Structures are given as C-alpha cells and as structure tokens.
Amino acid sequence: MQQEQEQQHKDEQDRKKAVEAVLVQSAPMPDDAVRVGGYDFSQGVDYAKLMASMLTTGFQATHLGEAIAVVNQMIQWRLSDDPVDPDEKEELKDAQTRSRLRCKIFLGYTSNLVSAGIRDIIRYLVQNRMVDVIVSSAGGVEEDFIKTMGPTYLGQFSLPGAELRKKGLNRIGNLLVPNDNYCHFEDWVMPVLDDMLKEQKEQGTLWTPSKMIHRLGKEINNEESIYYWAYKNDIPVYCPALTDGSLGDMIYFHTFRNPGLVIDIASDIRAINDEAVFAKKTGMIILGGGVIKHHICNANLMRNGADYAVYINTGQEFDGSDAGARPDEAVSWGKIRMDAKSVKVYADASLVFPLVVAETFAKTFKPKDNVTSKP
C-alpha cells in the first residue's frame, strides 16, 4: 500500500513537471513589438497594401519589406538630415547645398541577371540616374552588348548540354543564347579594340576597365543598353575581373592579330575607392555574390563602412564564403558601419529585385535635377 502511494506521488510530480515544461509563463512583450500578419485578399487586390504587408509576414517576406525600407532610406537621405560638423568645408555648411547632397548608391550585380530580364530594370535605373556607381562581372558587361545584337531565349534547366553544344546553343540556367550572338559580338568589338590600341600608341591613352566600358557604351549607341546610358549619364562602371568572360576571349584573340593593348586595373581601384572615401553617405545594393559583392564592400571599407546595405542572394554562410556572408560579417571588417541599416534577403534576385524597385526607385525617387551625390 505504501509503495502504491509513493508511486502515485511520483507520478503526480512527473505530471506536474510536464505541465510546467509545456506551460512556461511568457515574459511580457515590449509595447513596440510588431505583430505578425499577412494580406487579407477578401479586401480585394491592392498591390501597394500587399507589398506593405510583407514587412509583417515573417521569414524572407519580412526581409524583403526591410530591404524596401532600407533602399527608401538611401533614396531619401540628404546631408541636411545630419548636424553640421564644425570642421565641415564652408560650402557644405550652406543649407541649400546640404539639402541637395544625397546618398551615393553603389549597385552591384552578376552576369546572369543581365542575361535575364533584370537587365531592363538595371537599364531603367541607369537611364534615370538613380544609381551612382556600378560594379559588374565581365559577363554582366558583355551580355548587355550582346543582347543588342541578338536575343536571348527561354529554355529549360533540364536541357541536355551535349545536345545544346551540337546546336551551338549556350545555356544559362533556363535561358538559351545562340553562339552566333558571340560571333556578332566579336565582329563588333574587334575594331573598337583596334581603335583603343591606336589611341594608346598615338595619344598615350591609359585604358582601364571602367574607361573601356565607357568607350564600349559610346560605341554601341543603342538605348536598350545599360552601358549606353552609363556613358550618356557619366556613371562609372567598374569590373575588376573584366577578362573573365567573352570580353577576355576577345582581348586574348586581339593579342594575336594586333598585340599591345594594355588595360590598367590600378587606376580603377583608386577610382572606386575614392568614390567611397569622398562620399558623405553611401548605400550598397548588391545582387548576387562573388567579386562584385566584395569589390563594393571593400571600397566602402576605405570610409569605415557603408551607411546602408541591401544584399539579395541565395548564398549560405556555413562554408565561410563571402557570397553567403550576412551584413554583420562585413560590420566586423569595417565594410558596413556599426550603426548602419542593413539586411540580407535570401532569395533569387530575379524574383525579388523587381519588387524592390517597384516599391522604391519607381515610386519614390525624385529626378536628380539640382540634386547630387558628389560633395
């Protein structure tokens, strides 16, 4: 009998522990805690409200909402928002001048996005002078020019490579680029390289990747091109790995038929670093990873970090890759400021970036007339 009572008591204690484990009392939430909530389609379809609801939806939808908020902060900032530094240059103490000086926006992207339809969104930003500095991979440069010479087509991820190779079709994910397009590109770019070499020899022109892209943008003379508009609007385009693509192939072939062209990267590293060093405020929008991501971040290290940062990519940080690194890792290096507004959206940029632009530049950006990012 005593053993039964002891067992009952033990069972009762165990049940009590189970209840305590499950029904742990919560600490009160702070007054400013945000409640989770999504869009209610019973109210009809309102895309503005749908996008606004992303912020409270959770997961990557919330990161998307935060990215939109950070980009809008980049766009809206003016030097007049900050107190006047006693050591400021006299011309930058003027109230009107301060109201005109805005955040310098660095935009970086990988080549696949130019191959895709994101190219048209980037062209829109550059055409309307909504960004100030561009960093692209080599493919992100050449694919823009190649698209003016022949279309890229939709295909499938599952198309067999061997069969495509026999047909002269190059696959980029689920996109197809006829190899003839690259042949057209060679026919167009070789005479430009000849002219560049001639100017180097006769005029002492020092070519850098950014100067080369500027020249190609001038020569393409096509309003569909990102780099035509970069040339027209004098927006610098940096490409630290310019030879890593078809342009590199063309430069290689050019060394056999007309050798001697020199492309200097040292001048460009000084130029992009100075873009950051002398900016009063900087923002980074980086689509994808690799060299374009690090090149922008490292330039901003020279000013002790960017003030705003938005990353959009699918990279994970478990392998220590720079592509997968979250903004907080860049904070540890001094590439993003400790008090910066930053967010990473873990998503395919082809899905997310059009939504970001729709809710930021396309909606809130004011033309740059009488507004500058250069002090």
| Residues marked as catalytic | 335
Nearest CA to 70 among 340, 355, 322? Answer: 340
Q: What gap in Å lies between CA 30 and CA 21, rounded to an integer?
A: 24
Strands (E), the chain: 104-109, 133-136, 153-154, 169-172, 175-178, 237-238, 282-287, 306-313, 336-346
- Going 5 to 11 to 15 to 20, the CA torsion angle's sign is positive
Instruction: Give every CB contact of residue 338 below 8 A, 6+ residues apart in sequence.
Output: 305, 331
Distance of CA 87 to the CA centre of its chain: 33
Nearest CA to 146 among 170, 169, 175, 115? Answer: 115
Q: Pairing state of beta strands 237-238 and 169-172? A: unpaired
Q: What gap in Å lies between CA 342 and CA 363, rounded to an integer?
A: 21
Would you report the helix, strand and coil content of the chain in percent, each value rounded to 5? 55, 15, 35
Distance of CA 73 to the CA centre of its chain: 16
- Going 88 to 92 to 98 to 103, the CA torsion angle's sign is negative
Instruction: Please write down the HEC assignment for all residues of 296-315.
Output: HHHHHHCCCCEEEEEEEECC
Q: What gap in Å lies between CA 330 and CA 226, rounded to an integer?
A: 29
Q: What gap in Å lies between CA 285 and CA 67, rounded to an integer?
A: 9
What are the helix (H) ranges across 23-117? Answer: 47-57, 59-76, 95-100, 111-115
Q: What gap in Å lies between CA 277 and CA 128, rounded to an integer?
A: 24
